Amino acid sequence: MNKQRIIFGGAVILAVSLVAALVVALVLFSIGASPLETYKTILMGPLSDVFGVTEVLVRAVPLLLVGLGIAISFRSGILNIGAEGQIQMGVLASTAVALALPGLPKGILLPLVLLAGALGGALWGGIAGWLRARLQVNEILSTVMLNYIAVQVHTFFLRGPMLDPNELETGSGTPQSMRLPEAAIMDYIVPGTRLHTGLILALVAALLVYVLLWKTTLGYRMRAAGAGAKAARYAGIPVERYLVIAMLLAGGFAGLAGAVEVTGVHHRAIEGISSGYGFAGIVVALFGMLHPGGIIPSSIFFGILLIGADMTQRSAGVPANMVLVLQGVIILAIVSAQSFLRNSYAQARLFRWWSGFKPKKGAQP
């Protein structure tokens, strides 16, 4: 039966991927691009050389971190749409700490900066969690609204208090912070590329999230609160408390992603630094079935899509925003695939049909 399930799952995923690819192909065709060419560029292009691979991984790191946080919150029954804002708060907090303490040695400053980022994000996520637990404010509403606020706060700091003095002197006025001190910048893994040690951090985080959710009593509580709030309450689990904890953790991971982007990639806070990772992270988490073991490959896959989209813009003349269409179709595909996977009846039918046993249906009207 288990073997059947795996085959069935594989078949469904394959079928759904094909349908999704076909739908996107139609869209590509309608804007006059060659679907085959585009797919080839998107999927193969980024992996054709070492630089491409490292760039994919550079994108995968924040996606993985955000996705882990999303998985924690969704598993705990709270739908966090606010990672985008939480990333930006993480960026601000980590940059502020790095710039305020330039004299510290790297072994102390870098961890401190990352921690500050996580705390910044956790604070922003925690607000939504607290509002939900205390005042029953719908978290989808509050996290989306907090995103708007975060964007403005971010802009305010980068154009005001945290603006690089050099920008004022030269008069170019690009809204960005000063460059971080060397002690707050991550090392590169592959010299000559942008791949930084944040990758290792993210992979360790994935392992920790797995252990947290499935091996500890805290994870058990959070999952129970998410999967059956009523039963959890009857069993003496204060559900509201775990909603807040889940949002703190989810925000923390998003904030950490922001800090990693600052210390690993940009080395300063800039505008638009979150570049949609907060929303893409939701898709990454869902595509990875809300499990760290699935989110790692899923974040790499979306990294490929992002880089591939850039490449198609250059080579095939397809706008990079096509990736958004692809993301949308993928969400729809996941939802439909999941409802198929849960349908064990369809599974049994498929296998009976496969094994040549066709039930006598009589004459159809």
Partner 1 sequence: MTAMLEPISELKLEGITKRFPGVLACDGISLQVRRGEVLALVGENGAGKTTLMNIIMGLYRPDSGSLFVNGEEVHFRTPGDAYARGIGMVHQHFMLVPNMTVAENLALGLKQLHHFMWLDIKGAARRIREVSERYELPVNPDAYIWQLSVGEQQRVELVKTLCLGARLLILDEPTSALTPQETDDLIERLQRMASELAIIFISHKLNEVKALSDRVSILRHGAVVFNGHTVNHEPAELAALMTGHEVTLPRNEGTGRPGKPLLSVKNLCVRGDRGNLVLDGLNLELRAGEILGVAGVSGNGQRELADTLAGLRAVESGEILFEGQNLANCSPRAIIDAGMGYVPEDRQTEGIVPSFSVKDNFILKDFASQQFSKLSFLRRREIDRHADQLKAGFDIRCPSTSTATGALSGGNIQKVILAREIARGPKALVAVYPTRGIDMGAQEFIHSQLLDHRRKGVGIVLISEELEEVMNLSDRIAVIYKGKILKTLPAVEATRERLGILMAGLTDTDSPPEPAASALPSAGAVHE
Binding interface with partner 1 (CB under 8 A): 1, 215-218, 220-221, 223-224, 227-228, 230-238, 344-345, 347-348, 352, 359-362, 364-365
Shortest distance in whole angstroms from residue 363 CB to partner 1:
8
Instruction: Please state the φ and ψ torsions of residue 56, each to the nearest 5 degrees.
Output: -55, -45
Among candidate residues 84, 289, 195, 24, the one with its CA nearest the CA of residue 297:
289
Q: Residue 163 or residue 346: which is nearer to partner 1 going by CB?
A: 346
Spatial contact of 90 and 273, defined as CB atoms under 8 Å apart: no
Rounded CA-CA distance 229/258 in Å is 31
Q: Which is nearer to partner 1, 3 or 361 (CB)?
A: 361
CB of 362 to partner 1, least distance (A): 6
Whether 117 contacts 259, CB under 8 Å: yes
Closest approach of partner 1 to the CB of residue 348, in Å? 4
| Residues 80 and 141 sit within 8 Å (Cβ to Cβ) | no
Which is nearest to 122 in space by CA: 158, 185, 69, 75?
A: 69
Alpha-helical segments (H) within 31-138: 35-44, 50-75, 83-100, 106-135
In a 13 Å sphere around the CA of 252, the CA atoms on its Cβ side amount to: 12
Minimum gap (Å) between residue 74 Cβ and partner 1 = 13
**Minimum CB distance to partner 1, residue 48 (Å):** 42
Name the residue nearer to partner 1 (CB basis): 152 or 216: 216
When the beta carbons of 176 and 347 are compared against partner 1, the nearer one is: 347
- CB 358 → partner 1: shortest distance, Å? 10
Residues 6+ apart with CB under 8 A from 288: 67, 71, 294, 295, 296, 297, 298, 299
Distance of CA 71 to the CA centre of its chain: 9
CA pseudo-torsion sign 178, 179, 180, 181 = negative
**Closest CB to partner 1 among residues 47, 335:** 335
Q: Which of the 8 DSSP states describes residue 269?
A: -
Least distance to partner 1, CB of residue 11, Å? 15
Residues paired with residue 270 on neighbouring β-strands, in sequence order = 176
Q: Is 93 in a helix, a strand, or coil?
A: helix
Element (H, E) at 292: helix 292-315
Smallest distance from the beta carbon of 227 to partner 1, in angstroms? 5
Q: Which is nearer to partner 1, 159 or 233 (CB)?
A: 233
Closest approach of partner 1 to the CB of residue 81, in Å? 23
30 vs 217, which CB is nearer to partner 1?
217
Report helix, strand or coil for 33: coil
Cβ-based nearer residue to partner 1, 40 or 233: 233
- 160 vs 365, beta carbon nearer partner 1: 365
